[in-house]
Amino acid sequence: MYQRGAAIANKNKDNFICIECGYESAVWRGQCPNCGSWNSFQSKRDILEKKDILDLENLTYVEEERLLFDLRDLNDIFGGGVVKGSVTLLSGEPGIGKSTLALQMADQIASKYQDVLYISSEESASQVASRAKRLKLNEKKIKIISCSDLNKILKTLKNHNFSMIIIDSIQMLYDSEDSSTIGSLSQIKQCASKINLFSKESNIPFLLIGHITKEGSIAGPKFIEHLVDSVLFFHGDRSSAIRTLRSLKNRFGSTNELVIFEMKEEGLIKPKNISQLILQSSDLSGTTFCITIEGSRPLLVQVESLVNQSFKTSPTRLSHGINFNHFMLIIAILEKHLNMKLYDKDIYLNITGGINTEDRGIDLAIAASLISSYYDIIIPKSTIFIGECSLSGEIRTVYQIEKRLNEAAKLGIENAFVSDEGMNFKNINLYIIKKLKDLKDWIKKWKIQYSKEKIG
């Protein structure tokens, strides 16, 4: 009885309130006598007071402090620079160049601000130093720690001040207070939570490097995407020198921004004109070009396809650079509206340079590429195709068409197939395509021209 009375006395110290109607009581009640709701009483200490609820119109925006890179494109992908106190996740395939990119980022930040700390939990300090010398970085302002114990690292950081901290990688860190194994979801989440809290308290930005699975998705770090402020994905084809850095999440700027690098002996560099490198390809059947919008930038992409007779029960369908289901959808549209017999064909599609795109404006270029390979027709490389294919066979307009055509004019493109009428560009011949059937006349023209060149 004494314990029961003590419990009631403790409750009497706080008023209780019904969260349904606002009725106040000196003791906790199972049912509200005012509105009749059950289990609706909560302690006022657990409920936000009126002063905690703010009017949005009375708040003023305070611009974040940012660290700027020498490369403008890197600033854009972070939304204008790295925000102090933010946590960024950089992920990509093993060996694609994440550590190289992180070291070059560290060099650019250290050259303008205070020292940058590089924490290596996978490689030894001498291995990181060897890479830094190969990249010819300013080694004086980049500090290195080779450690995996997060608690030791955070205790050390309290006695130092760095402009930026890089952790390579988040999967190899462990928290000694957590009994789970290194690399487990529990360890990764615990480490990321502590890093996020330390970053906000110290106002130091962190860059976490993570790995991806064989399927191409972010492994353990996928579990902590909600904890970080930005997510960057580093992608590229090992057979190509082209690398792409894409922003998938950004709390301080726009998403889907894209930066293209070229991997060389001295590290990652920004190509002077990636579109001109793509245009150097020779004239071949199955090859078309399109201008896509990646983030805020127009980019020329090359579409390659191969349509070949299949002798298997289930023909092979393979795509690189676009969503496979969308690739199958375009094949179905061609079979329906152009009477192309593709059901017994092996079909391969590739966006060159290791570039991945979800832009629907590339649909017409993909369709033209498949037609070109199917009929073995060469389409001049000075021709681009911009449009979205609907299920009814119509070609729909795409956003920022003028921006795409302006980029095409700079590259010396002569012909452009689009669905927008009333447009006029001096240096480009525009051909209006409203339906896929409108391509039939062009197919015949290209086929005759190709035959003459072949015979001659």
Name the residue type at position 328. M
- Show which of 239, 271, 303 is a domain's final residue: 271
User: ∠ CA 300-305-306 to the nearest 5 degrees?
Assistant: 160
Residues 337, 188 share a domain: no
pLDDT tens digit sequence for 54-77: 778 777 777 788 999 998 889 988
Residues 354, 229 share a domain: no
Strand residues in 295-344 grouped as ranges (E): 297-309, 317-320
Question: In this structure, are residues 371 and 443 in contact, taking their beta carbons and an 8 Å threshold?
Answer: yes
Q: Position of tokens 């009497």?
A: 12
Residues 214, 133 share a domain: yes
Considering only 207-221, 286-300, 384-398, which range has the smallest mean pLDDT?
A: 207-221
Q: Position of tokens 């419990």?
A: 7
- Show which of 271, 306, 335 is a domain's final residue: 271
Give the total number of structural domains in the chain: 3
Residue 27, domain CATH:
2.20.28
What pLDDT shows up at residue 184?
82
Residues 253, 120 share a domain: yes
The mean pLDDT of 282-306, rounded to a whole number, is: 84
Residue 361, domain CATH:
3.30.230.10
256: helix, strand or coil: coil
Residues 349, 429 share a domain: yes
Residues 168, 43 share a domain: no
Residues 358, 284 share a domain: yes
Residues 243, 356 share a domain: no
Model confidence pTM above 0.75: no
Q: How far is CA 285 from CA 275, 307, 377, 381, in A?
A: 20, 10, 5, 10
Q: Rounded to whole angstroms, how far apart are CA atoms 406 and 410?
A: 6
Residues 153, 50 share a domain: no
Rounded-to-10 torsion of CA 25, 26, 29, 33:
-30
Q: Rounded to whole angstroms, how far apart are CA atoms 135 and 266?
A: 5
Q: Position of tokens 């092979």?
A: 316
pLDDT tens digit sequence for 376-409: 888 877 889 999 999 999 999 898 888 888 888 8
DSSP letters along 220-246, please? Answer: GGGGGTTTSSEEEEEEE-TTSSEEEEE
User: ∠ CA 157-159-160 to the nearest 5 degrees?
Assistant: 65
Question: In this structure, are residues 349 and 320 in contact, taking their beta carbons and an 8 Å threshold?
Answer: yes
What pLDDT shows up at residue 44?
75
Domain span at 115: 66-271
The mean pLDDT of 89-117, rounded to a whole number, is: 91
pLDDT band at 176 (very low <50, low <70, confident <90, very high): confident
For 452, list phi and psi in degrees, rounded to 5.
-65, -45
Residues 287, 241 share a domain: no
What pLDDT shows up at residue 285?
84
**β-pairing verdict for 206-211 and 383-385:** unpaired
What pLDDT shows up at residue 178?
80
- Show which of 28, 57, 86 is a domain's final residue: 57
Residues 287, 249 share a domain: no
Residues 427, 313 share a domain: yes
Residue 183, domain CATH:
3.40.50.300
